[in-house]
Amino acid sequence: MASIKKRPDGKWRARYRDYAGKEHARHFPRKVDAQRWLDEVTTSVVTGNYVDPKSAKLTVGEWADSWLRGYEQNRPSTVRQAQSHLKHIREAFGDRKLDSVRPSEVKAWTVRLSESGLADSTVYALHARLSQLYADAVHDGLVAKSPASRRTSPKVGKQRPYVATTEQVWSLHDAMPAGLRPAVLLAAFAGLRIAEAVALRVEDVDFMRGVISPAIQYPNDPLKTETSKTPIPISTDLAVELNRMPVKFGSATIVTTEYGRGISPHRVEHYFRVARATVEGLPEGFRFHDLRHYYASLLIASGLDVKVVQRCLRHNSAKTTLDTYGHMFPDKEESARAAITEVLGARADSLRTKAASSQ
């Protein structure tokens, strides 16, 4: 409902009610200006671009605070990552009104982030978070459209994972404190992520059957996905090695301190960096997670197909496996050529035989 009425002071009062029933009004010296304003509002409502004038005053920082309160229902580690991303977003746009940020500014922001030394994957994740923040703002009717899109998105930094040699893996293992050596084994020979490895309990391992059943991640959080709960088959030799620590230290977890207590991923990564410095040939950026790449390389080298590798790595889809490790799978082009050559060759032999018999 909208109307225009002349006031006693000679000004024209234009008013309308939004979809929530709230009334909005403005005063104009000329009726034509009042009508133009109402026409613009009506058009924005019809096209789905309407924004409450009061909501439009909201800043990026204020919306980030509100958005985060609703996001806190997620796992603590997920929330901490979002908080880290929002810190960067607030530094760049926190005092700006939500609808004032332009795509060109978002693009320039990602360039500055890259120039500051952040990894391509980090810059991509920050842009994705800004896009998520604005997508929810659009959904709530706070802004008409988002300044973050594919056109402002930085390129995804795709770097082939570094795969350590078997000798380097054992050198890392031997350089770690005794109670933390199972962490290397769990990553390199079972593909566990660091938060899963340090939280793995004795009860999660069937030492007789050789099966690891991940159930939680550090400190006592649920696993990231249902797929992460997929049981992992392990060799008898690995089961024996993993059982040494609980037997020696009487610990409830496979990875333990010298006092038989659990340990955080942060502390394990500290000792891992110290150990890495002693191993010849490992790049400085080699991470604990890269041991998982070694595990993947073992599976692929043994001739397992992509679906089996996906299942062992507990990826949600084979696409994730191929995107990360596709270059490791044997090249099938020559096999395809050979198969086609064999069929065409058999056809040619058949024709020659027929021609010879007809003569």
Cα 186 from Cα 254, distance rounded (Å): 9
Residue of higher predicted confidence among 357 and 241 = 241
Q: How far apart are CA 35 and CA 14, in angstroms?
A: 7
Write the pLDDT tens digit of every residue in 179-203. 999 999 999 999 999 999 999 999 9
What is the signed CA dihedral for 234, 240, 246, 248, rounded to 10 degrees?
A: -160
pLDDT at 338: 60
Q: State mean pLDDT over 275-299.
A: 91
Rounded to 10 degrees, the C-alpha dihedral 319/321/322/327 comes to 170
Look-up: residue for tokens 């901490």?
80
Give the chain's mean pLDDT. Answer: 86
Nearest alpha carbon to residue 131 among 112, 111, 151, 117: 151
Residues whose CB is less than 8 angstroms from the CB of residue 297 and which lie 6 or more positions away in sequence, other chains included: 163, 325, 328
Confidence label for 46 from pLDDT (cuts 50, 70 and 90): low
Length of the chain: 359
Local confidence band at 263 (pLDDT 50, 70, 90 cut-offs): very high
pLDDT of 54: 59
Cβ burial of 110 (10 Å; 0-12, 13-18, 19+) is: buried
In b/e form, how buried is each residue of 138-150, taking b as 16+ CB within 10 angstroms? beebbbeebbbee
Encoding tokens for residue 333?
């082009």
Q: How many angstroms from the chain centroid is the CA of residue 34?
A: 49
pLDDT at position 167, please?
94
Mean pLDDT in residue range 202-226: 92
Determine the Cα–Cα distance for residues 217 and 237; give it in Å rounded to an integer.
24
Position 347 scores a pLDDT of 72
For residue 73, pLDDT over 60 is answered with yes
Q: Is residue 138 within 8 Å of 146, Cβ to Cβ?
A: yes
pLDDT at 339: 62
Note the pLDDT tens digit of each residue in 314-351: 888 888 787 777 667 665 555 555 666 677 777 777 87
More confident call, 333 vs 41: 41
Residue 253, strand partner residues: 201
Q: 246-267 burial, b if ≥16 CB within 10 A, otherwise e? A: beebebebbbbbeeeebbebee
pLDDT of residue 74: 84
Please give the torsion angle defined by the CA atoms of residues 32, 33, 35 and 40, in that order, rounded to the nearest 10 degrees.
140
- How far are the Cα atoms of 3, 20, 122, 141 from residue 180, in angstroms, in the given order? 74, 59, 29, 51
Distance between terminal CA atoms of the chain? 95
Please give the pLDDT value at position 28: 85
- Rounded distance between C-alpha atoms, residue 304 and residue 227, angstroms: 19
6 φ/ψ angles, rounded to the nearest 5 degrees: -85, 135
